Structure 1
Amino acid sequence: MAVMQDRIANDLTQDYLADANEALSFNLVRTPQDMEDGEFFSPEMTHQVYGDGEQIFGYKDLEVRLYITAGRLNMYCDVEYSSIVKKSKSVALEPDDIVGPLTKLVPTNCILDNQDTFLALLKKESTFKPYGELISVITPHNNDANQRFEVYSCNADTPGFLEYFERLQMFTMFYVDAASYIDTSDHKWNYFIAQYYPIRAAISYEQYQSSDGNPMYAFVGFTTVYEFYGYPEHVRPRISQMLVLPPFQKKGIASGMLQAIYNKYIDDPKVLTVSGAVSSLRGFNVSVEDPSAIFGSMRLRVDCLNALTRLKVFSVEKLKKGITKEHYDEAKTKLKLNRDNTLRVFNVLLFRATDRNNKEDYKNFRLFIKNQLYAPFRRQDRELAKLEKYNLSKEEISETLAFVPKDKRPDIIHQEYLDLESKLSMIVEKLPPLSDEERKLLGR
């Protein structure tokens, strides 16, 4: 009898088990018609909402559609399924709560269960205006004249914004692994929001036209910045989170928000540096609070563009003379870059100016980079020399120091260089090509 019950339970489990990533979808609604034929997009993850297995039990052919008004972010959850698991005396099974975990992500009564109420709120979208101060307009990568994106700067003192932010940060649970909600009572946070007109949150919106030709706004993405204290009366802004919703990705919104944040802080004498990336020359592992190669590459490209357009010290003729104190000082003063980020920018722009068909020019660049890659080994040698003064045995030294033998270092450095050059090439491809004037200065 017990075996039969287990078999029945197993069959039910398989028939009534849904992949939460596939069952759940979002729809940013601008008009009632969007609920029928609008664009739906799926979460990248649901383990922070429905558990590590990312599964919902108890429903066959489950579909969970979360409709969200594009501007105000009012929500309506529609759940459909062909059948639901039923309780029985022989098998103790209950269907999972679907809507409950979603309601915990947003303010009370934010998610509606009545479509008519939702449609009534949708009519009020025409009066929605972005919170905060307009600080930037983003031109999409495809230069579509019919699309306009705007970035707004907000903080804890922006009227009505914190309640709005409590709605939009729900998306982090579906697109940012190990996400945590921001303590909005801490006034050191700034918010930057992108809108489709479609800091210190940057909020992005798309500005679009209603049926009667009036401008309306749709939420696109956001960036948060925390302002750390810098002695004696300065701040060190650090980028914490950045998210652009899937329908608006690969349009230049993220880099546009990042540039808007830079522009907000660059001319402020109280700002020491703008961070948000812990850089490492090895592997180009760059992060905000969590490692993200995509963010790192984007930030590096933006930094390089700023250096090219704003700092004469990064002109091609000065790059060829090597990195100097002037490079570090100018980058810190005018771009708020720290030393590590300045060196990374210099490496990219030097590679851009290097003629890889010229053996001597190419060799000089490789030696310049490999000298940087060798730095950890030089530190190892210094540490080894210190330990040897205490007459330690080889076994004792190996327990203290992860020493790489000198005969193995060239191969390691060579491979690291190849990996780095590949990543430098990808960045350079996204920068403007050398101009005729630059080529002339380089003697080409």
Structure 2
Amino acid sequence: MSSLAANASALQPEQWTSSSNEAVELFVTDDQGAIKFSPVFTYPIFGEAETIYGYKGLEIFLCFDHFTFYPFFNVKYEEKLNDPEIVDLKSTIEKFLPESAIFKDESKWGDAIAKEKENYRIPGELVDSFEQAVDDEVTSFDIYKLNLKDAGGLELHKRLQILVLLFIEAGSYIDASDELWDVYVLYKSTPGQDDPSIVGFTTVYNYWKYPGAAKFDKDEREVRLKISQFIILPIFQGRGIGGQFYSHLFEKWHKNDKVIEIVVEDPNESFDDLRDRSDLVRLSESLKLSDISTKITPEWIQNTRKSLKLEKRQFARLLELVLLYQSKNKLGSDSKKDIRLFIKKRIFEKNKEGLSALDENTKKDKLQTAYTSLEEDYFRILGDLKLVVKRQGADEENGSAKKIKV
């Protein structure tokens, strides 16, 4: 680099500063070509400012095979400052990738994928399958549970985990040597394509819970499952696939007698929405919505929540969503005022310490503001959602309550 350029960099640093979110370009490649998408976050790799200084015309390519997720990365730029303080991008990026990742040599990467696929098998156990309409075509999906003790399962996890940093705020790598971690990977089968494509994955931690002396003496174990990370690749989002992935895993865990509760660790808004809608549909299929009213007892709430294996916060949200759904569709007997007071009571209990210090009028204003905001968000979540309503009557007496959509 010329001394003229060096002097220009000191006077115009913005010309040598790149947004790392814009510089990083992600690709998933298959037989048809490559699909490009962008990261949401890059600060775990490049720092809080998410900027890279010292390069002009910077492009960082991070590519994965759609089936094996074999990684390749490359760095291109027009000019680089001749300064020892400028970060070396190759060494910076490869810290977050498995040793198998190939740098710069694209033909070597293609050969490595072809060689690996000669004997490649998905390194895990098939635990569930489902079908989902995608682009007006019924598509098959398979859920595999990785074996992290197996070299192949551990390697696939290492290839996937960089997505946690790029798409989950404050995301971090799990300790794969901890046997209490489970990793589930979702695959999509495409007509005309030999190998399925990775759609996303989730990590789940098994918190063992002491079941009491009697059960412990009988060697009976109880576990509380916590979903820690949940990723659907951007190219597959917005099609209901994530909801199906979550729901099928939840159903599988719900049938396991050892699992007593299923929770989520610090969900973001998009996952909260996915979870709420999926849980609402499952709840409407498990219960009669007519059983849910503002008059339900604490005992009913406790017993029902435990039977559904939902955490307290989530079950409270679902009950309030159902009450507003009933009001919206003129299904329940509760008035709008009944529902408002029911929800306000929970809000007050949750914020009792802070609200108790306020005078009566301020307290009422605060509660009304909180309720109005929550109601607005609940109606946004409900949208055009259709829940299953079990009609009471002759059909139910015959043990086959009829389900109708409303």
TM-score where L is the length of structure 1: 0.77
Match of 2:205 among 208, 212, 226: 226
1:22 aligns with 2:14: no
Output aligned runs, 1:16-415, within 5 Å: 16-31=16-31, 34=33, 38-85=34-81, 87=82, 92=83, 95-124=86-115, 125=117, 128-140=120-132, 142=134, 144-145=136-137, 147-158=139-150, 160-197=152-189, 207-210=190-193, 214=194, 216-232=195-211, 233-276=221-264, 288=265, 290-311=266-287, 315-320=288-293, 322-324=295-297, 325-333=299-307, 335-354=308-327, 361-376=335-350, 403-415=357-369
Contact 1:107/1:167 (8 A) holds in 2: yes
Contact 1:138/1:253 (8 A) holds in 2: no
Q: Structure 1 residues 322 and 428, CA, compared in 2 at 3 Å: closer, same or farther?
A: farther
Over residues 100-130 of structure 1, what are the superposed CA-to-partner deviations in whole Å (9 max), with x where a residue is unaligned? Answer: 1211112224233312111213335475433
Q: Which amino acid aligns with 1:165?
A: H
Distance, in Å, in 2 between the alignment partners of 1:182 and 1:377 is 34
Q: Which amino acid aligns with 2:246?
A: L
Secondary structure class of the residue paired with 1:309: helix
CA shift, 1:184, in A, is 0.6
TM-score where L is the length of structure 2: 0.83
Secondary structure class of the residue paired with 2:48: coil
Q: Which amino acid aligns with 2:28?
A: L
Secondary structure class of the residue paired with 2:109: helix
Q: Which amino acid aligns with 2:318?
A: V
Distance, in Å, in 2 between the alignment partners of 1:134 and 1:271 is 20
Contact 2:281/2:388 (8 A) holds in 1: no
CA shift, 1:163, in A, is 1.7
Distance, in Å, in 2 between the alignment partners of 1:377 and 1:172 is 33
Q: Which amino acid aligns with 2:368?
A: H
Q: Structure 1 residues 57 and 418, CA, compared in 2 at 3 Å: closer, same or farther?
A: same
Give the match for residue 426 of structure 1: 380
Q: Structure 1 residues 434 and 243, CA, compared in 2 at 3 Å: closer, same or farther?
A: closer
Kindly, what percent of the aligned residue pairs are identical? 26
Secondary structure class of the residue paired with 2:196: strand
Contact 2:289/2:390 (8 A) holds in 1: no
Structure 1: tracts of 5 or more residues without a match? 198-206, 277-287, 385-402
Moved more, 367-376 or 153-162: 153-162
Query: RMSD of aligned C-alpha atoms?
Result: 3.1
Structure 2: tracts of 5 or more residues without a match? 212-220, 393-401
Q: Which has the larger radius of gyration?
A: 1
Higher strand proportion = 2
Contact 1:229/1:235 (8 A) holds in 2: yes
Contact 2:71/2:100 (8 A) holds in 1: no
Contact 2:182/2:205 (8 A) holds in 1: yes
Secondary structure class of the residue paired with 2:187: strand
Q: Which amino acid aligns with 2:192?
A: Q
Secondary structure class of the residue paired with 2:304: helix
Contact 1:128/1:217 (8 A) holds in 2: no
CA shift, 1:361, in A, is 1.9
Over residues 388-435 of structure 1, what are the superposed CA-to-partner deviations in whole Å (9 max), with x where a residue is unaligned? Answer: xxxxxxxxxxxxxxx222220111111111111112212322531576
Q: Structure 1 residues 254 and 158, CA, compared in 2 at 3 Å: closer, same or farther?
A: farther
Q: Which amino acid aligns with 2:124?
A: G
Moved more, 415-424 or 340-349: 340-349
Secondary structure class of the residue paired with 1:108: coil
Over residues 191-239 of structure 1, what are the superposed CA-to-partner deviations in whole Å (9 max), with x where a residue is unaligned? Answer: 1111122xxxxxxxxx4533xxx3x122221111100111132111111
Distance, in Å, in 2 between the alignment partners of 1:48 and 1:360 is 49
Over residues 295-335 of structure 1, what are the superposed CA-to-partner deviations in whole Å (9 max), with x where a residue is unaligned? Answer: 22221222211111123xxx2332236223234313312x2
CA shift, 1:366, in A, is 1.5
Over residues 321-375 of structure 1, what are the superposed CA-to-partner deviations in whole Å (9 max), with x where a residue is unaligned? Answer: 6223234313312x21133332222111121112588997222211222222222
Q: Which amino acid aligns with 1:345?
A: L
Secondary structure class of the residue paired with 2:225: strand
Distance, in Å, in 2 between the alignment partners of 1:412 and 1:114 is 61
Secondary structure class of the residue paired with 2:258: coil
Contact 2:44/2:165 (8 A) holds in 1: yes
Q: Structure 1 residues 141 and 422, CA, compared in 2 at 3 Å: closer, same or farther?
A: farther
